[in-house]
Amino acid sequence: MNSPQPHIVVENLTMKYGDFLIQRDLSFSINRGDIFIVMGGSGCGKSTLLKHLVGLVAPSGGRVLYGEQSFWDLSLAERDILLRRFGILYQKGALWTSMTLAENVAMPIRQYTNYSEPEIRDIASYKLALVGLAGFEDYYPSEISGGMQKRAGLARAIALDPEVLFFDEPSAGLDPMSSKLLDDLILELNRGLGATIVVVTHELPSIFAIGSNSVFLDADVKTMIATGDPKELLRTSKDPRIIRFLTRGEREA
Amino acid sequence: MSCTFGHTLSGDGTLEISLIADASGVSGDPSAVLRSIETMRPGSRVVLSTDAAPFIAPLVIAPPSLAILFKIATLCAQREVSLSFSGFPEQVTRQLSLALSVPARKGARRARGEDRLIVSIGRASVSLIENLTGWLSFLGELLMALWLFIRRRARVPVRDIWVILDECGPRALPIVTLISVLVGVILAFIGAQQLRQFGAQIYVANLVSVAMLREMGAVMAGVIMAGRTGAAFAAQLGTMQVNEEIDALTTLGISPMQYLVVPRVVALIIMMPLLCVYADVLGILGGALVSSLTMDISLAQYFNQAQIAVHMRDLWLGVSKSGVFGVLIAISGCLSGIRCGRSASAVGVAVTSAVVSGIVAIVLSDAVFAVITEVLGI
């Protein structure tokens, strides 16, 4: 194994909505092949951080580096090339409701490759099968359950075999079994595709099951208070806020 | 049958509050108690006791009772005064400690209250400027996307254009038919009433045909489409925004402007002039109906007179106006939709603002057209 290579580096990132400060001075790095957890209590800006990482919202200060490139200093065309290597699973799946599942998955493939229509259709079916949705190609998102929508969203996210996969609260609204399956799927993708994975979540079982690195955001001081392997954090951290969070408040510092 | 808060300050600075409640629970005015807690020094004690044990059951249920106790407890916490309960059943104290366990986040509470006039004027002007710049930058982006589309360099889903064309064209025909025939009828009636006084009823044909071609056809079709299609655009895009579908497009590197807005604008630019011509024809027919049925004007006379009255430029004026209206409707609909917030009520707001700004834009631009045509003598 090589020594860890930083894949995504966040430097002094400050996030604001208008005048309202969300988080300030975030600095951490995500290594290639990490499963990186963004955790913290509700409303501390986890999803907002994700939006900054994937280029939906411009930071009000600081930089987000992908390899050597600073995302927000790139031209639009260069950003497009970077974006192409991302896959994102949104909180509610965010499938395009006017298209069938196969069309949803086919969209990124059609956007970025020159495969023929039958080839694209086959790839879409294959990706749907990967997430356990074989045979659902011609269903519309409104015709399937929430958990299935989420998996279909995952199929769309991995359509282009991305280098970085972002998950926004993957287990929100799923029953424990489905969320376990999704965790296994994330691990599988991490090993199989060698993808770097960034997960926003506050589900403790998932955090310990899949996380290999993390950042902990705090809503009161409005900045990060720890970064590292969550299991390691639980073992070594002296910070009562982190211990309370990682043990559901059952153990105090 | 009233509840009372008795309070006494004992020698060592401890405030003893006794709660005398009856079956209706606690509903009395605690302001005297709250005032005296406010004057207490940090570190002193408050004892909240009750002898209303028999009535505690309704006390637990009645939310106002607990809310009053909660108010007292928060104030104590703020003043760093220690609070103890005596005589309250465990459910009550447990619930209160649950409510107090997460203190209000600092700065989370929004300041409420009336803004002074100058502040509201300031806010209104800032939001007006923001709206205007929003419109302009949206227009700029749209023009760039349209330019790419014309040069065939944009990723515009052509299939969607057909779907939208069908949605805003053929499907709008019944309502456009109804409204424009009736507008023609109304114009003819008003005209007939006035022109009868001079015995010049035949000029009803002039009035109806010129008015329909130059103004009413385009404006009525525009207003209908603002309420029908502009609202639909805003609702579609707004829901997509709530659903994060637009984010999903953006992060795929697909421009929502090219993928969602351009097809809608193009469809309305194509469809509005056609609807306008259709409305013109039906309005003139409505006028013909009235004049042949209620006046002594035959259809042949009516159309003959109309032919003398109208010129090709009247038709062109109306049709080109309707094209502009189409763009304005599509922009207000799509802009409101894309700017939509992330909640269900935000979609409602987006739809309302799409329709309102669409109609305002139509009327304003029509006024501008009126001035221009007057000056140019068209």
B220-274, pLDDT tens digit by residue?
999 999 999 999 999 999 999 998 899 988 888 888 999 999 999 999 999 999 9
Least CA distance to A76: which residue of chain B? Answer: B253
B14: left (phi over 0), alpha (psi -120 to 50) or beta: beta
B-chain residues near A111 (CB < 8 A): 155, 252-254
Please judge whether A91 and B244 are an interchain contact, meaning their C-beta atoms are less than 8 angstroms apart. yes
pLDDT at B64: 62
| Chain B interface, best mutation among A107, A150, A160, A218, by max B CB count within 10 A | A107
B105 near A CB under 8 A: yes
Both tokens of B121, joined, read 């004027």
DSSP tag of B260: I
- 8 A C-beta contact, residue A52 and residue A8: no
Chain B contacts of A107, Cβ < 8 Å? Answer: 252, 254
Both tokens of A127, joined, read 């990706």
Cβ within 8 Å, pair A90-B248: yes
Among partner residues A54, A94, A111, which is closest to B254 by beta-carbon distance? A111
Contact B245 A96 (CB under 8 A): yes
Q: Cβ B247–A84 below 8 Å, yes or no?
A: no
Q: Do A94 and B105 touch (CB under 8 A)?
A: no
Contact present, B327 and B268 (Cβ < 8 Å): yes
Which tops the pLDDT comparison, B17 or A119?
A119
For A219, nearest residue in chain B (alpha carbons): B105
CB-based contact, B252 to chain A, within 8 Å: yes
Residue A84: list chain B partners with CB under 8 A.
Answer: 253
Measured distance CA(B290)–CA(B280) in Å, rounded: 16
Residues B274-321 have pLDDT tens digits of 999 999 999 999 999 999 988 888 899 999 999 999 999 999 999 999
- The whole-chain average pLDDT of chain B stands at 85
pLDDT of residue B90 exceeding 80, the answer is: no
Whether residues B105 and A84 touch (CB distance < 8 A) is answered with: no
Dist CA B236 CA B246 (whole Å): 11
Q: What is the DSSP letter of A27?
A: E
CA dihedral of residues A172, A177, A183, A185 (deg, nearest 10): -120
Please give the DSSP secondary-structure letter assigned to residue A69.
E
Low-confidence ranges of chain A (pLDDT < 70): 1-3, 251-253
> Residues near A120 by Cβ (< 8 Å), separated by ≥ 6?
A106, A109, A110, A113
**Which residue blocks in chain B are alpha helix, DSSP H?**
31-38, 56-61, 63-78, 90-101, 117-150, 158-168, 173-196, 204-211, 217-225, 231-242, 245-251, 256, 262-294, 299-309, 312-338, 344-376
Greatest mean pLDDT among A14-28, B39-53, B320-334 lies in B320-334
Select from B239, B240, B253 the Cβ nearest to the Cβ of A111.
B253
Distance from CA of A95 to the nearest CA of B (A): 6
The length of chain A is 253
Query: Which tokens is B45 given?
Result: 């004690």
In chain B, residues 110-169 whose CB comes closer than 8 Å to chain A: 155
Q: What is the pTM of this model?
A: 0.76
Mutate to test the interface with A, among B251, B255, B347 (most CBs of A within 10 A): B251
* Tokens coding A193: 């595709």
Beta carbons of B268 and B222 less than 8 angstroms apart: no
What number is the average pLDDT over the span B208-212?
93
From chain A, pick out residues whose CB is under 8 angstroms from the CB of B252: 83, 107-108, 111
Sheet holding A20-31, edge to edge: A20-31, A6-17, A61-66, A69-70
Whether residue B243 lies within 8 A of chain A, CB to CB, comes out as yes
Burial of A34 (0-12, 13-18, 19+ CB in 10 A): buried
